[in-house]
Structure formats: structure tokens, C-alpha cells
Structure 1
């Protein structure tokens, strides 16, 4: 049985509505609330498929994070400040990882959603937690806007269930360094990451195998849909198929699309949806998480399209008025010039085609030569 045989479950929370890392931070934008509102406006999110995300308890968080770090997050939320020792040790109260009113509750809710997902998937199915995907969080410190690492916690929960073949696939524009550190060399976890090369956190090189259980696919600047399709069909999907996973965890960060301000890739949202379509047929359990994404329109459209894809809903050429109003109500301080009409009127981007880069072809050849180590 594949994951697609059961009705997907959407995990969300109102804690994301109005919560912001600060007016000047890239995560000042609404993301999960836009997806919930847009999917409801489309009639895609009935109550029977929605679950309210619980907040993970400290004991659950310490299955990966240190007790001292969890305590520091709780104290930072209560005091709305940290001392210099805490700032240096745990990397909170910095420009990237600022103090904000829900600095503990919000990431603990995202983590609770992914832990709930692991429980729901014990017997199979599909669960979508767009508030998750915080793949940079380290055991004792925050990193890259990520205070906790919910993908790591979910994978550990699957391992605790007795699963021994887990595929973690990450198509965010930034390398999943926190997940890589947590499972380096673990023979039970295959990690596959596509990410922009020479971009923070500057990890995930082509030759980084993490104990022969990682496939890193660094993408050259300007990678478009046809470049990505070659990597997907020649490397990503065959690797997952060879692994024969009992569960797939997909981190579906939305920052690899052309309009995102924190990357220089050129994908359309079709590239993400095509990965979702393929993976939902390849394991009895599928957990899909959010991740990066810093343009409010592209994130809301892409992640809503993920939910449509998981359910097999048809994506219309033009959105109905109620859905357009959700997108039209968004604003963004980083917007330059007029907002393109398609960001309000449609979900699906125009595919971004082009000749496949020679460097992409070379990397495919290098990775195909290593295929024997995937299994």
C-alpha cells in the first residue's frame, strides 16, 4: 500500500497567525495562515482532514535538543531578552534568530505537529505539516531562523516505532545541515538534499556522503525546471526507489522558486509539486513539511498547491474570487515594483524551461557512478 491510498491530514495552528520574527526579518510574512485560508477558500480543507497542532512537551523536545537549550528558550520567551552568555551559547537574540513573543511556543508547536504526524502515520497515510521543516536547528542552539528541528524529532519518532528505512528528502534552497548532523552515518536514514550551491550554510557539497547515507545535489545559480527534472528523474527518484523506504519525510521549502529573495534559483512551483506527486506513490507513509520561503505570495501558492497535489485536487487556471481575495490581502515590505497579477490570480506558475546546464549533467554522472552506495 502507498501513502496515497488514505485521505491526507493537514496539521495547522492559529499560533502562526500574527506571530512574526519582527518587522525587518524575512519571516515577518504570514505563511501557514495563508495556506490554511487559501485551502479553505478553495474548499480543499474540510474539518475531517484538519488537526490542530499540539505544543510539544519539553521531555519530547529533549529527544534531540539539550535540556539547557530548551530551558533557555522558555526563559527567553518569559523575559523577552537573553544575557550575552545565553546569546553566545544558544545563538538566540541574534539578527537571524531574534527574540519574539512566541520564541518557544511557536517552534514547539511546529515540533508538536511533526510528532503528532509520526503518531498518525504509524499505520500509514499522508500528513502535511506546513509549519514544520525547520531543518537548521541544532541540538543546543538555533540556526538559520530555526529554533528547534522538527524533522529530526519526527525521524527519531519513526525510529522509535521500529522503522529502519527512512528516506528524508529536502528540496529547500538551503542545505539541511541540522538534519545532516543529527543522522550522520546512520544506516537507517537516507538523506537526499537539493540546495543552491555556495549559499548559507555552505554545507552539502557534492562529495559529502555523510557516511555513505547522504546524496547532496548542489544546484548552480539559475537552476530552472528542466535542470531540476533531470536531477529528479536521474538521481532523486531512483535513489528513493532503491532504498524502498518505510516512510518518506519531504521538506518542501518554497525558497527555490524564481521570486524568492533569499536564493538565486529559478524554479517554478511545478517542480515542487512534481516531486510530491512522485513521492506519494513510493512509500506507505509520507510526511510533508514546510521550510524556507520568504515571498508571501509564492509561499502561499506553492504550499497550497502541495496540499492540492497530495489530495489529487485539480488546480484551476484561474482562482475563484474568494481565493484571490486571500492573496490580494497580502502585503510585503520587500516588494519592488508592481506585484505581478499571476501571483493573485493563479496558483500554478508558468513552467520555467531552458537548456539543461552542462554542470547539471556532470553532477548527474558523478552521482550515478555512486549508485551502488544508495542501498
Structure 2
């Protein structure tokens, strides 16, 4: 099998969101730079993402929505009917200069990843993972659902039985709305209970094989290990997918401002390693993540994990300088960040008690696994 590939783009260096938007921080570009500085991203494994054409996007999104998105970027403004109908021009999904081209690049990368793993392989696409977008509506910072587009493209390439695992802090409402009723699709989502979009209840099977696990605030590394070993891996083993897409949003890490979970990035990386061992065809995306340092450290760690690289205890000087250059002035944590954010890649473990509500949720979902096969 070939070495894992990394799909990125220079488009992620642009800062099209306004200063108050949670995505007004560098994310993918920092991962690219950090991985290069530590010697983990040679040109032989880096692939520049294509931009998906409108016709390709219509494999999931409605033609009228795609045209509305194109028109909004070209005109730089939307009218009230467009805002109401398509969710464009809102606080979450504002009009900006790259509102079509940037998500279309993420979608193109995700669909290219599907082609690259068709015969076996591992691809990391940190710019993808926009799991909230609906077929005809922008939603939750997501203009296009590149996850659904990748899964549907895998189908077109001849792979029937697919699994999607989501460890973002927020429920994958757009993915479930688009694919939840498909019996040849396993959807697993581990997300914070009582958090926007307020979907993905324990009893919600999406009309098919969706396993939704809402977890309590303070969800820790020990609890994620329990979920990984008692739910995620047994479900994948029972379902026997031909390919897996893993959405690895960094917003479940303790330092993220948009959730109240308490994972270390090491808990994320342990899920990545375990899921990688379950398949010959793996696509790993990014997703949420709104602290520039924790996103860079988590997703660079994901890339290291996929390759089996040894992570140094302390980053080399050029990498520290790169992390020192990041700013996050609109958050209190960004004005006085701890030095570990600059000098290390891995968090200290954040173990704790596995609480009864986590054990009960896992047990309920385990009882449903046999019925999926």
C-alpha cells in the first residue's frame, strides 16, 4: 500500500470570514506549514485539491442551491428571499469573497480522496469535514457537505458498504439528513449532549444504521477510550465496511471555545489509529475546531498518526516560531496562552471516571449493532 496522502490547498491561507466569526482563524494552512517544518509533508505525498465543479456538487446539493451559492459569491450580497430559503448571508454562513470557491475546493478534495482510496489507501483532507450543510441550505458554518459528496462518490466508484465515524463535538445533522436512511451506510456520531444543532438523540437511528451517542460535558479521555473500544470498533467489525470516512473535528478537545468537552488531542489520535486498523480504505477529514493552536496540534497529530511518525516531546525551533506567530485576540485564552500550545504537539492525557450515562449510552447502542448486519 502507498504512503498516506495529504490533500491541501493555498486557498486556506485566505481569511474571508469577518473577525468575529469562529472561523476567522488559520487552520488548514497552519497544519500544512507545521507538518512541513517538522519534515512530515514532502512534496511526494502532498496533493493540491481541485475545485469541484457545479455539476459534481449537484450529486448531492440541489441545482437551485448551487446556483444561489455561485450568485452570492459573484454579487457579494444576497436578498432576503435567498437568505431565508438557502441560509446564505446569515451570521453563521455570511456572504464573503470565497463562499463558493473555498467549500468547493474542500468538496473537490474530499471527492478526489474517494478516488485515491478506491483501490486501497489512506488520505487526510483536513479542509473537508463540513458535516452540517443540507442538500438545499447552508448550515452551521458549512456551505457544502463535502462528507456526503465523498461518500456518494465512493458509491459511484463501486464501493457499496460504507461507514462514517464522526468525533466532532457537534452532531452530523447534514450527513444524517442526507444518508441516514441508507441501510448500506453505517453512521456513528459521538457528540456533546444539549449542544447545537440539538439533534442526534440516543434513540435516533436516522431511519437506518445511525448510532448516535450524546455525551455529557467534561467527556474525558477514559470515556472516549470506552466508547472507542466498546462501541466504535465493535460496530465497524460487525458492519464490515469497504471504506471508512472519519470526521476528526478538533472542537471536542478541552481548549475549544464552542464545546464543553474535555478530551486531549491524544484521545482523538487514539481513535484515528484504531479506526485505521479496521480498513484498507480510509479518508480522514477535519471538521470543527476554533482554537488555532489546538486545531493545528490536533490535525498535525492526526497526520503523524496516520503515518506512524514518532512525535517529539518538544517541537523544533522553526515549528515553535510558527506557533508563536499565531494570534487569537478575540478570545481571552488567546491573549495569554500556555507555552505548551507553542512548544509541544501532544496534550497530557486527560483521564477520568467513565460516568454511568456514558456506559448506559454505549450499552444501548451495542444492543442495536447485531440488528444492522
CA offsets, 1:123-155, max 9 Å, x none? 110011100000001011100000000000000
1:357 alignment partner in structure 2: 355
Q: TM-score, normalising length from structure 1?
A: 0.97
Q: Does structure 2 retain, via aligned residues, the 8 Å contact 1:19–1:102?
A: no
Q: Could you say which residue in structure 1 is the equivalent of 2:212? A: 216
1:217 is displaced (CA, Å) by 1.0
CA distance in 1 between counterparts of 2:49 and 2:202 reads: 36
Q: Is the 8 A contact 2:180 2:187 kept in 1?
A: no
Q: Which residue of 1 aligns with 2:343?
A: 345
Task: Determine which of 99, 111, 120 is the counterpart of 2:116.
Answer: 120
CA distance in 1, matches of 2:95, 2:134: 17
Contact 1:32/1:131 (<8 A) preserved: yes
CA–CA distance in 2 between the matches of 1:205 and 1:137? 19
Q: Write the mapping of 1:57-68 to structure 2, written as runs, cut at 5 A.
A: 57-68=53-64
Q: Does 1:373 align with 2:371?
A: yes
CA RMSD across the alignment: 0.9
Match of 1:29 in 2: 25
Shift of 1:371: 2.6
Q: Does 1:245 align with 2:226?
A: no
Q: Deviations over 1:93-150 (max 9, x none)?
A: 0000001110000000000000111111111100111000000010111000000000
> What TM-score comes out, normalization by structure 2 length?
0.98
Residue 274 of structure 2 corresponds to 278
Which whole-Å CA distance do the structure 2 matches of 1:185 and 1:44 have between them? 39
Instruction: Name which of 165, 184, 190 aligns with 1:169.
Output: 165
| 1:144 aligned residue | 140
- Equivalent residues of 2:162, 2:244 under 8 A apart: yes
2: CA distance, partners of 1:279 / 1:324: 30
Q: 1:334 aligns with which of 323, 330, 334?
A: 330
Aligned residues: 371
1:225 corresponding residue in structure 2: 221
Paired residues of 2:20 and 2:330 also in contact (CA < 8 A): no
Query: Which runs of 5 or more residues in structure 2 are unaligned?
Result: none
CA distance in 2, matches of 1:155, 1:212: 16
Q: CA deviation at 1:370?
A: 2.1
> Where do 5+ consecutive residues of structure 1 fail to align?
none
Q: Which residue in 1 is equivalent to 2:37?
A: 41
**What are the within-5 Å matches in structure 2 for residues 73-88 of structure 1?**
73-88=69-84
Q: Secondary structure at the match of 1:242?
A: helix
Misfit runs of 4+, over 4 Å: none
